[in-house]
A and B are shown apart, each in its own frame.
Chain A
Amino acid sequence: DAGVIQSPRHEVTEMGQEVTLRCKPISGHNSLFWYRQTMMRGLELLIYFNNNVPIDDSGMPEDRFSAKMPNASFSTLKIQPSEPRDSAVYFCASSFRRGTYEQYFGPGTRLTVT
Protein backbone atom coordinates (compact mmCIF):
# COMPACT_ATOMS: atom_id res chain seq x y z
CA ASP A 1 0.00 0.00 0.00
CA ALA A 2 1.23 3.48 -0.86
CA GLY A 3 0.16 4.94 2.46
CA VAL A 4 -1.46 8.33 2.85
CA ILE A 5 -0.48 10.63 0.02
CA GLN A 6 -0.34 14.39 0.37
CA SER A 7 0.37 17.06 -2.17
CA PRO A 8 2.11 19.34 -2.52
CA ARG A 9 4.91 18.55 -0.08
CA HIS A 10 5.95 22.17 0.06
CA GLU A 11 3.96 25.29 -0.71
CA VAL A 12 5.17 28.86 -0.61
CA THR A 13 2.60 31.54 -1.27
CA GLU A 14 1.97 35.19 -0.66
CA MET A 15 -0.46 36.53 1.87
CA GLY A 16 -3.95 36.79 0.45
CA GLN A 17 -3.59 33.92 -1.99
CA GLU A 18 -5.73 30.81 -1.96
CA VAL A 19 -4.01 27.60 -0.92
CA THR A 20 -5.33 24.10 -1.53
CA LEU A 21 -3.82 21.06 0.14
CA ARG A 22 -4.71 17.59 -1.06
CA CYS A 23 -4.88 14.19 0.54
CA LYS A 24 -5.48 10.66 -0.64
CA PRO A 25 -6.20 8.29 2.26
CA ILE A 26 -5.25 4.64 2.45
CA SER A 27 -7.63 2.54 0.38
CA GLY A 28 -10.35 1.03 2.55
CA HIS A 29 -10.02 3.56 5.36
CA ASN A 30 -13.20 5.43 6.12
CA SER A 31 -12.02 8.12 8.52
CA LEU A 32 -9.86 11.05 7.51
CA PHE A 33 -8.24 13.69 9.68
CA TRP A 34 -6.55 17.02 9.01
CA TYR A 35 -3.98 18.27 11.53
CA ARG A 36 -1.79 21.33 11.77
CA GLN A 37 1.57 21.32 13.53
CA THR A 38 3.52 24.37 14.66
CA MET A 39 6.25 24.91 17.20
CA MET A 40 4.04 27.17 19.26
CA ARG A 41 0.81 25.15 19.30
CA GLY A 42 2.01 21.61 18.67
CA LEU A 43 -0.27 19.16 16.86
CA GLU A 44 -3.84 20.38 16.44
CA LEU A 45 -6.78 18.48 14.98
CA LEU A 46 -8.56 20.74 12.52
CA ILE A 47 -11.37 18.55 11.20
CA TYR A 48 -12.23 14.93 10.62
CA PHE A 49 -14.55 12.96 8.39
CA ASN A 50 -16.23 9.60 8.78
CA ASN A 51 -17.50 8.04 5.56
CA ASN A 52 -16.88 11.35 3.75
CA VAL A 53 -19.07 13.30 6.19
CA PRO A 54 -17.52 16.02 8.37
CA ILE A 55 -17.98 15.01 11.99
CA ASP A 56 -16.15 17.67 13.96
CA ASP A 57 -14.74 20.90 12.55
CA SER A 58 -14.37 22.67 15.87
CA GLY A 59 -10.62 22.83 15.36
CA MET A 60 -10.85 24.85 12.18
CA PRO A 61 -9.37 28.18 13.22
CA GLU A 62 -11.43 30.55 11.11
CA ASP A 63 -13.88 30.76 8.26
CA ARG A 64 -10.89 31.17 5.98
CA PHE A 65 -10.36 27.43 6.37
CA SER A 66 -12.58 24.88 4.66
CA ALA A 67 -12.31 21.17 4.00
CA LYS A 68 -14.13 18.82 1.70
CA MET A 69 -14.18 15.12 1.05
CA PRO A 70 -16.08 14.53 -2.19
CA ASN A 71 -15.35 10.80 -2.21
CA ALA A 72 -13.62 8.12 -0.17
CA SER A 73 -10.28 8.59 -1.88
CA PHE A 74 -9.78 12.34 -1.86
CA SER A 75 -9.93 15.31 0.46
CA THR A 76 -8.90 18.95 0.28
CA LEU A 77 -8.11 21.60 2.83
CA LYS A 78 -8.41 25.12 1.51
CA ILE A 79 -7.27 28.39 3.02
CA GLN A 80 -8.65 31.54 1.45
CA PRO A 81 -7.22 34.10 1.94
CA SER A 82 -3.99 32.85 3.43
CA GLU A 83 -2.10 34.75 6.14
CA PRO A 84 1.47 34.45 7.46
CA ARG A 85 0.18 32.91 10.71
CA ASP A 86 -1.13 29.97 8.68
CA SER A 87 2.46 28.89 8.08
CA ALA A 88 2.72 25.37 9.47
CA VAL A 89 2.99 21.73 8.51
CA TYR A 90 -0.39 20.26 7.64
CA PHE A 91 -0.87 16.54 8.04
CA CYS A 92 -3.56 14.28 6.74
CA ALA A 93 -4.20 10.95 8.45
CA SER A 94 -6.61 8.11 7.81
CA SER A 95 -7.95 5.20 9.80
CA PHE A 96 -10.46 2.41 9.69
CA ARG A 97 -13.47 3.43 11.71
CA ARG A 98 -13.98 -0.02 13.20
CA GLY A 99 -11.42 -1.69 15.39
CA THR A 100 -8.86 0.21 17.35
CA TYR A 101 -8.71 3.47 15.42
CA GLU A 102 -4.98 3.76 14.84
CA GLN A 103 -4.28 6.53 12.40
CA TYR A 104 -1.77 6.51 9.59
CA PHE A 105 -0.21 9.82 8.72
CA GLY A 106 0.91 11.29 5.46
CA PRO A 107 4.27 13.02 5.07
CA GLY A 108 2.72 16.46 5.48
CA THR A 109 2.62 19.68 3.50
CA ARG A 110 4.91 22.43 4.71
CA LEU A 111 3.11 25.72 4.04
CA THR A 112 4.91 29.04 4.11
CA VAL A 113 2.89 32.21 3.69
CA THR A 114 4.97 35.33 3.13
Chain B
Amino acid sequence: AQSVTQLGSHVSVSEGALVLLRCNYSSSVPPYLFWYVQYPNQGLQLLLKYTSAATLVKGINGFEAEFKKSETSFHLTKPSAHMSDAAEYFCAVSGAGTASKLTFGTGTRLQVTL
Protein backbone atom coordinates (compact mmCIF):
# COMPACT_ATOMS: atom_id res chain seq x y z
CA ALA B 1 0.00 0.00 0.00
CA GLN B 2 1.12 3.54 -0.67
CA SER B 3 0.21 6.91 0.74
CA VAL B 4 1.34 10.50 0.66
CA THR B 5 1.00 13.20 3.29
CA GLN B 6 1.42 16.84 2.42
CA LEU B 7 1.93 19.00 5.46
CA GLY B 8 0.16 22.32 5.19
CA SER B 9 -2.78 22.84 2.89
CA HIS B 10 -1.81 26.49 2.45
CA VAL B 11 1.65 28.04 2.39
CA SER B 12 2.32 31.75 1.96
CA VAL B 13 5.73 33.20 1.11
CA SER B 14 7.00 36.58 0.04
CA GLU B 15 8.31 37.07 -3.44
CA GLY B 16 12.01 36.24 -3.44
CA ALA B 17 11.77 34.02 -0.36
CA LEU B 18 12.50 30.32 -0.15
CA VAL B 19 9.68 27.98 -1.06
CA LEU B 20 9.44 24.73 0.91
CA LEU B 21 6.52 22.37 0.37
CA ARG B 22 6.57 19.20 2.43
CA CYS B 23 5.73 15.69 1.33
CA ASN B 24 6.12 12.44 3.24
CA TYR B 25 5.35 9.10 1.72
CA SER B 26 4.70 5.54 2.69
CA SER B 27 5.39 2.70 0.30
CA SER B 28 5.85 -1.04 0.55
CA VAL B 29 7.98 -1.07 -2.62
CA PRO B 30 10.77 1.25 -3.78
CA PRO B 31 8.86 4.38 -4.65
CA TYR B 32 8.65 6.61 -7.64
CA LEU B 33 7.80 10.09 -6.48
CA PHE B 34 6.35 13.04 -8.34
CA TRP B 35 5.44 16.65 -7.87
CA TYR B 36 2.69 18.15 -9.98
CA VAL B 37 1.61 21.78 -10.26
CA GLN B 38 -1.89 22.98 -11.07
CA TYR B 39 -2.45 26.56 -12.13
CA PRO B 40 -5.97 27.98 -11.89
CA ASN B 41 -8.39 26.44 -14.37
CA GLN B 42 -5.78 24.08 -15.77
CA GLY B 43 -4.88 20.43 -15.52
CA LEU B 44 -2.02 19.03 -13.48
CA GLN B 45 1.44 19.46 -14.97
CA LEU B 46 4.41 17.30 -14.08
CA LEU B 47 7.01 19.39 -12.26
CA LEU B 48 9.61 16.72 -11.51
CA LYS B 49 10.01 13.05 -10.69
CA TYR B 50 12.26 10.74 -8.68
CA THR B 51 12.86 7.33 -10.17
CA SER B 52 15.67 5.86 -8.04
CA ALA B 53 18.52 7.60 -9.82
CA ALA B 54 19.90 10.81 -8.30
CA THR B 55 18.31 11.72 -4.98
CA LEU B 56 18.29 15.43 -5.81
CA VAL B 57 15.91 15.99 -8.67
CA LYS B 58 15.66 19.19 -10.66
CA GLY B 59 12.45 20.15 -12.36
CA ILE B 60 10.95 22.94 -14.36
CA ASN B 61 10.70 26.58 -13.27
CA GLY B 62 13.65 26.32 -10.87
CA PHE B 63 12.07 23.78 -8.54
CA GLU B 64 13.91 20.83 -7.09
CA ALA B 65 13.19 18.04 -4.62
CA GLU B 66 15.36 15.75 -2.57
CA PHE B 67 14.52 12.12 -1.87
CA LYS B 68 15.42 11.15 1.67
CA LYS B 69 14.75 7.51 2.32
CA SER B 70 15.60 7.70 6.03
CA GLU B 71 13.00 10.40 6.50
CA THR B 72 10.55 9.03 3.89
CA SER B 73 10.36 12.55 2.53
CA PHE B 74 10.36 14.24 -0.84
CA HIS B 75 10.11 17.96 -0.08
CA LEU B 76 9.86 20.49 -2.89
CA THR B 77 11.98 23.63 -2.79
CA LYS B 78 12.73 26.73 -4.80
CA PRO B 79 15.33 29.25 -3.65
CA SER B 80 13.42 32.35 -4.68
CA ALA B 81 9.65 32.52 -5.13
CA HIS B 82 8.10 34.35 -8.02
CA MET B 83 4.55 35.60 -8.29
CA SER B 84 3.97 33.16 -11.13
CA ASP B 85 4.62 30.23 -8.75
CA ALA B 86 1.26 30.78 -7.08
CA ALA B 87 -0.59 27.52 -7.72
CA GLU B 88 -1.58 24.26 -6.10
CA TYR B 89 1.08 21.60 -5.76
CA PHE B 90 0.47 17.88 -5.48
CA CYS B 91 2.88 15.19 -4.36
CA ALA B 92 2.27 11.66 -5.67
CA VAL B 93 3.77 8.20 -5.24
CA SER B 94 3.88 5.11 -7.37
CA GLY B 95 6.10 2.06 -7.62
CA ALA B 96 6.74 -1.22 -9.32
CA GLY B 97 3.76 -3.52 -9.01
CA THR B 98 1.25 -0.76 -8.46
CA ALA B 99 -0.19 -1.23 -11.94
CA SER B 100 0.73 2.34 -12.94
CA LYS B 101 -1.59 3.94 -10.40
CA LEU B 102 -0.48 7.13 -8.68
CA THR B 103 -1.53 7.97 -5.15
CA PHE B 104 -1.85 11.73 -4.73
CA GLY B 105 -1.60 13.90 -1.67
CA THR B 106 -4.29 16.41 -0.81
CA GLY B 107 -2.37 19.31 -2.28
CA THR B 108 -0.73 22.49 -0.97
CA ARG B 109 -1.85 25.86 -2.20
CA LEU B 110 1.10 28.23 -2.52
CA GLN B 111 0.45 31.93 -2.20
CA VAL B 112 3.18 34.42 -3.14
CA THR B 113 2.91 37.94 -1.77
CA LEU B 114 4.74 41.13 -2.63
Contact = CB atoms under 8 A, between A and B. Distances in A.
Interface of A: 4, 31, 33, 42-43, 45, 48, 50, 55-56, 91, 93, 95, 97, 100-108
**Chain A interface main SS type:** strand
Task: Rank and list the top 7 A-B pairs by shortest CB-CB distance, nearest first.
Answer: A105-B43, A101-B94, A105-B44, A100-B51, A31-B100, A101-B100, A100-B32
A105 B43 CA distance: 6
Interface residues of B, number: 20
27 contacts: A4-B43, A31-B100, A42-B106, A43-B90, A43-B107, A45-B101, A45-B104, A48-B100, A50-B99, A56-B99, A56-B101, A91-B44, A93-B43, A93-B44, A97-B99, A100-B49, A100-B51, A101-B32, A101-B102, A102-B32, A102-B46, A103-B102, A105-B43, A106-B43, A107-B42, A107-B43, A108-B43
